[in-house]
Structure formats: structure tokens, C-alpha cells
Chain A
Amino acid sequence: MRLHLIELILFSTYAELRAERARSYLGLLWWIIEPAMNMAVYYLVFAIVLRTSQPDYIPFLLVGLTLWQWFKSCVSHGGYAIWQGLPLIRQVKVPVQVFPSVQILADTVKFLFILALLLVILWGYGYPPNRAYLALPVVLLVELVFAAGAAYVVAAVMPFVPDLRFVIEQVLTVMMFLSGIVFSLDAVPDAARPWFALNPVAVLVDAGRGILMHGLWPDWLALGRIALISLALYAFGALLIRRWTTRYVKLPT
């Protein structure tokens, strides 16, 4: 049963990626072009128009956006997944958590390509690999758990309240600005800092930049706290889906 579920998730992910490639003229190239265009837009606005006077702004932005876009696509694609899977849920007996899991996995595969490219670019930019890279898998794993948890929660609720899709993009945009992706959070008042330290994305991006740009080991205490928050969110999301799993099929078409 469990093995069958894994096979189903893996093959569906392959099918998803393959179909996505076939749907466009440039196919796989979009995996790279789309995030690159996104980065160019932020570079244009913040570095050229607003003249952000921050040292190392380009690598700062690249690392931040790479980690952010992975999180964002997991939440938005995964969040829609059960809602979009309703026709199939009415047709066959299929475990509902498959739908968000497939999206998260597909977005993670794409992210790994972009990450590899990012590492090459950083090297070319004068930030060679360093010993702290050993901590990178830990940071990425925590981010994956957090993104999956957030995606599960949104996915579980969306079929009951499809209106959520009008809200989710806005919430994600606000979250991006509160996570110090495109500009540094140094200006945040001291009083507000403990709150920002609870934002997993901000902490993870900060850790990522430390590793990739400065060869610094992550703040393990902060990372541990975020890991706990992420695991709790993941468990909560999985619980919601499990709890409501028999109700999706009874929703109106």
C-alpha cells in the first residue's frame, strides 16, 4: 500500500514535469528563463530604479529569490492541488495527499536545477564553494518541510473555500517583503526582531546567504526553532487533509 503510494507520487511527478515540458514551445528552458526574468525585474526595480545601495546586491538578490521562489511555487501549486484534483477524487479511490505532494516534488525538482545554476553563477561572481556548504542540505530540508506544511494547509482548505485563491497571491507577496528577499531587514526596529526570527523564510534565507556568500555556519539555535515550527505546520497540514479526506468527494461540482 505504502509502496504503491510512493510509485503513484513519483510517476505522477514525472508525468507532471513531462506534460509541462510538452505544453510550451521552449519546454524545459522555461524552468530557467522564468525565474531569470523574475530576478531581472526585481534587479531593475531595486538596483537600478530605486538605487538600493547595498554591497553585493546581486548575489544577495539571487540567493533570496531562488529560495523564495521555491517556497512560493510549492505553496501556490500545492495549495491548488486538491481543488484541481476533485474530478479525479470523484472518479477513483485515491489518497488525497498525493495531489499536493506531487506538486511539491515537481517544484523541488525544478528548484534543484535552478540551485545548481545559482551555485555556478555565484562561483563565477567570486563566491566559491566553502566548508559551510555542508550545512546547506539541512537548511533546504527545513525549507522543504515548511513549504510542504504550508502547501498542505492551503490545499486542505481550498476545496471548501475556493475564494482563497484570490487571497493567497497577496499573502505570499506580503510574506516575501517581510522575509527580506529583495531588501535587507537590517532596518527592522529592534523591538520587532523577535517576531521576525519566527518567520521561517526569513531565517532560512538568512542562513542560505550566510552559507553561500560568507561561508558562515547557520545559527543552529534559530534553525532548530524554525525546524520545530516547520514540523508542527507539516503535521497540522497532514492532519487536516487526513481529517477531511472523506469530505472532498461530497462537495458540489
Chain B
Amino acid sequence: MSALVTLESVGVAFNAQLRAAAARFWALENVNLTLARGARLGIVGRNGAGKSTLLRTLAGIIEPDRGRITRAPVSCQLLSLAVGFIPHLSGRDNAILSGLLLGLRRREIERRLPAILEFSELGDFFEQPISTYSTGMTARLGFSVAMQVEPEILLIDEIMSVGDTEFQAKSGAALRERIHSGTTVVFVSHSDAAVREICDHALWIEHGCSVMQGGVDEVLRAYHAAAPAAQ
């Protein structure tokens, strides 16, 4: 299998404060990672270990401050819901706007609008401003738009369950279907069960450093064995 993305000693620093001489805070110190085509990688680690920063670095939202990131020319996207939604715009306009922000071309989104309308079950509300929507309706629209983006590498920060119970089951099923359709996936989660279910191997990161990459069971066992020591 060929590597789609490789991270070598990658570090990412954030500005701690808006001051000229403010110290920088290294959210990622030293991460090594290899992502093969078709792989489903789970990232485990404690709160503040840098999991979300790592995901956003993979997505290209954040550029590393040190180390090297090598990428094959493939699309790589974070699954994000309701990106750029504006309350006073209709569901249709928001779907187009959000799709554009997620990197789709206008005509691609227009073509997918019927699918978005159908999946979100919004009916006539699709033409209404989303300020009139319930939280669940907005979440349904957000999820339906996000699912229209089909990157070659899908990055997921925790499995999302949105909307009412019925839609949760439906959106969960759609997401699982996408994950198991051969897409390369990077999945961040606190849940061992979810990582076991979705991933074929795992990476453990601690204080911004990659500690171990390997089989799911092996990595989870080492991670939990280290838990008392780390606290």
C-alpha cells in the first residue's frame, strides 16, 4: 500500500496571547504518522494531547511550524457540520454556501441539492430561512451537506450523532457506509468501542508526541496500561 500522507517530526505552535513577545504554545511537539491508501486510522489520546490539532493539520487548515508533511495529490477534508451557515438565508442558499466553503464547485452542489433536500427531510422548510429552524433541523441540514463532500481522505472528530433518535440512526448509518466504502479515514475518538468498530489500526499521541502506531488492540492496550503513569 502506498502512503497518502506522511508526517515526520511535525510540530505546531499556537500564539498563547496577542502580545508582541508572547510565548508560543506547542500543541503538537513531535508527531510521526504514515497514512496508507484505504487505511482506517484511529487516533487516541487524552484531553489536550493534540488530537484535534493533528486532524486539522492533516486537513491542511493548519500548517506545521516544524517537521515535514508529505501529501499525495488527493483531497483531504474534515467532516464539519453547518460550516458558514447564515441564519437569515434559506436552507437552499446555506447548503450552496456551505458546499462552496467545503470546496465543492457551484454546479456540483446544485446537482446534489435534491439529495440534500431528501436526506435532510426538510420539505418546504428548505426554502425558509434557517433562523426559523429547530436545532435538530439545522443539524440535519448540516449533516446532509457535509455528506455531499466526498474527499479521498475523510477526517472525523468523534462520531457525530445529530438530530432526533430516528435521524441519529440514519446519519450514523450513512456515515458508517461512507467509512466502509473503501475511503481512507482518520478518526479521533475517546471511545474504545468506536475505534475498535471503525479502525484497522491506531495511533496514540501524548502531550503532542506520537507514542505508538500499530494494531488497534495493541495500541489501546499500551495506552490504557500507561494511563496511571501519566496521571
* A91-B80 in contact (CB<8A): yes
Main secondary structure of the interface of B (DSSP, over half): loop
Interface residues of B in 44-84 (CB under 8 A from A): 56, 59-63, 78, 80, 83-84
A4 CB–B CB distance under 8 Å? yes
B102 CB–A CB distance under 8 Å? yes
Interface residues of A in 14-48 (CB under 8 A from B): 15, 18-19, 22-23
* A interface footprint on B2-37 (CB within 8 Å = 1, 0 otherwise): 000000000011111110000000000000000000
B176 to chain A, nearest CB (A): 24
B18 to chain A, nearest CB (A): 6
Which residues of the partner chain A approach B61 to less than 8 Å between Cβ atoms? 89-93, 249
* B106-A19 in contact (CB<8A): no
Name the one of A92, A160, A162 contacting B80, with C-beta atoms under 8 angstroms. A92
The distance in angstroms between the C-alpha atoms of A93 and B59, with both chains bound, is: 8
* A22-B129 in contact (CB<8A): yes
* A interface footprint on B200-222 (CB within 8 Å = 1, 0 otherwise): 00000000000000000000000
The distance in angstroms between the C-alpha atoms of A210 and B172, with both chains bound, is: 66
Name the one of B17, B78, B87 contacting A92, with C-beta atoms under 8 angstroms. B78
Which residues of the partner chain A approach B190 to less than 8 Å between Cβ atoms? none
Which residues of the partner chain B approach A19 to less than 8 Å between Cβ atoms? 86-89
* A4-B102 in contact (CB<8A): no
Which residues of the partner chain B approach A115 to less than 8 Å between Cβ atoms? none
A228 CB–B CB distance under 8 Å? no
* B15-A92 in contact (CB<8A): no
A3 CB–B CB distance under 8 Å? yes
A246 CB–B CB distance under 8 Å? yes
* A250-B14 in contact (CB<8A): yes
* A251-B60 in contact (CB<8A): no
* A15-B89 in contact (CB<8A): yes
* B105-A92 in contact (CB<8A): no
CB contact under 8 A between A249 and B62, given known A11-B106, A15-B93, A18-B88: yes
Interface footprint category on A: 20 to 34
Interface footprint category on B: 20 to 34
B100 CB–A CB distance under 8 Å? yes
Which residues of the partner chain B approach A4 to less than 8 Å between Cβ atoms? 100, 103, 105
A94 CB–B CB distance under 8 Å? yes
Main secondary structure of the interface of A (DSSP, over half): helix
A189 CB–B CB distance under 8 Å? no
The distance in angstroms between the C-alpha atoms of A19 and B93, with both chains bound, is: 11
Which residues of the partner chain A approach B80 to less than 8 Å between Cβ atoms? 91-92
Which residues of the partner chain B approach A162 to less than 8 Å between Cβ atoms? 18
* B interface footprint on A55-97 (CB within 8 Å = 1, 0 otherwise): 0000000000000000000000000000000001111111000
CB contact under 8 A between A11 and B96, given known A88-B83, A246-B63, A249-B62: yes
Which residues of the partner chain B approach A229 to less than 8 Å between Cβ atoms? none
CB contact under 8 A between A92 and B93, given known A22-B88, A252-B16: no
* B14-A88 in contact (CB<8A): no
Interface residues of B in 94-108 (CB under 8 A from A): 96-97, 100-103, 105-106
Q: A4-B100, A88-B101 are in contact. List 19 more A-B contacts (CB 8 A).
A: A11-B97, A15-B86, A18-B93, A90-B61, A91-B78, A92-B101, A92-B102, A93-B59, A93-B60, A93-B61, A94-B101, A246-B63, A249-B61, A249-B62, A250-B12, A250-B14, A250-B15, A250-B62, A251-B14
- 8 CB contacts below 8 A, A to B, read A11-B96, A15-B86, A19-B86, A92-B101, A94-B101, A249-B62, A251-B14, A251-B15
